[in-house]
């Protein structure tokens, strides 16, 4: 007879991290009016590589305002899209990826529309999105979690992944997909989609503020007491 192993300790650690960061930053709940339709979120993700969120948001809104519909954006030449995305970090790459992605949706669906995702299980919806050009796990999770779909899926970007690696929740060399596979099953079961989104926003802020790629400020980080890296670097 095999005895139950009990809850994964990482689940409790994630909850402690959440509570700690909420106490430090306050709540970071995305208001309903900030939840955009899935195509908007997809576009924002595809054009957003290495670009600040505010800039990607502005570019996404401007594309839709300029051309009137995502079908019209899909028909714009990639070079022209690159010019429209001049404020992105890699405008040429962003334009090419966006053109390819929207064209693929239009070819499969007859128009640039993701309403079929509403009827799909979350993991299946993410796998479908990841068949599109320029869409990997970060973007697919973002579409199902932060859009009006409001699903329980964890967005992991470079800032978030760096923090959870240094804390010790996922292997140091894990890529985004592997980090997702490690953390998604141990998220607190009571967390709703909004809690998972808040977790990402809170941990991302730690990565932007103290847990930088080449420089850490462990002494001032609110996660120092539960972080393996901080315990190694801070004096006893």
Instruction: For domain 36-135, give the CATH number.
Output: 1.10.340.30
Q: Around 152, how many Cα atoms within 13 Å sit in the side-chain half-sphere?
A: 12
Q: Which of 221, 233, 229, 236 lies closest to 20 in space, CA to CA?
A: 221
**Residue 32 pLDDT more than 80?**
yes
**Residue 114 pLDDT more than 80?**
yes
pTM of the model: 0.92
Please, which residues have CB within 8 angstroms of residue 190's CB and are 6 or more apart in sequence? none
Q: Which residue has the tokens 């240094």?
A: 166
Q: What class does CATH assign to 9-29+155-233?
A: mainly alpha
Give pLDDT tens digits for 101-113.
Answer: 999 999 999 999 9
Q: Which of 129, 77, 67, 69 lies closest to 104 in space, CA to CA?
A: 129
Give pLDDT tens digits for 158-209.
Answer: 999 999 999 999 999 999 999 999 999 999 999 999 999 999 999 999 999 9
Query: What is the residue-averaged pLDDT of the chain?
Result: 94
| Residue-level pLDDT at 233 | 81
Domain boundaries, the chain: 9-29+155-233, 36-135
């Amino acid at each position: 007879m095999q005895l139950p192993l009990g809850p994964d300790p990482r689940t409790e650690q994630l909850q402690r991290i959440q509570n700690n960061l909420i106490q430090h930053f306050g709540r970071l709940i995305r208001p309903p009016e900030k939840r955009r339709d899935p195509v908007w979120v997809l576009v924002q993700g595809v054009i957003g590589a290495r670009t600040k969120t505010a800039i990607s948001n502005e570019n996404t809104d401007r594309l839709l305002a300029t051309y009137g519909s995502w079908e019209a954006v899909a028909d714009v030449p990639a070079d022209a899209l690159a010019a429209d995305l001049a404020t992105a970090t890699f405008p040429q790459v962003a334009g090419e990826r966006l053109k390819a992605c929207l064209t693929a949706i239009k070819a499969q669906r007859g128009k640039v529309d993701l309403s079929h995702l509403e009827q799909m299980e979350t993991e299946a919806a993410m796998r479908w999105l990841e068949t599109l050009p320029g869409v990997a796990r970060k973007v697919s999770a973002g579409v199902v979690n932060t859009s009006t779909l409001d699903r329980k899926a964890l967005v992991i970007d470079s800032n978030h992944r760096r923090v959870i690696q240094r804390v010790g929740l996922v292997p140091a060399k894990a890529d985004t997909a592997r980090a997702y596979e490690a953390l998604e099953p141990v998220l607190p079961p009571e967390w709703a989609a909004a809690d998972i989104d808040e977790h990402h926003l809170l941990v991302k802020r730690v990565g932007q503020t103290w847990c930088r790629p080449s420089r850490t400020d462990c002494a001032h980080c609110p996660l120092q007491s539960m972080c393996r890296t901080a315990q190694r670097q801070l004096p006893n």
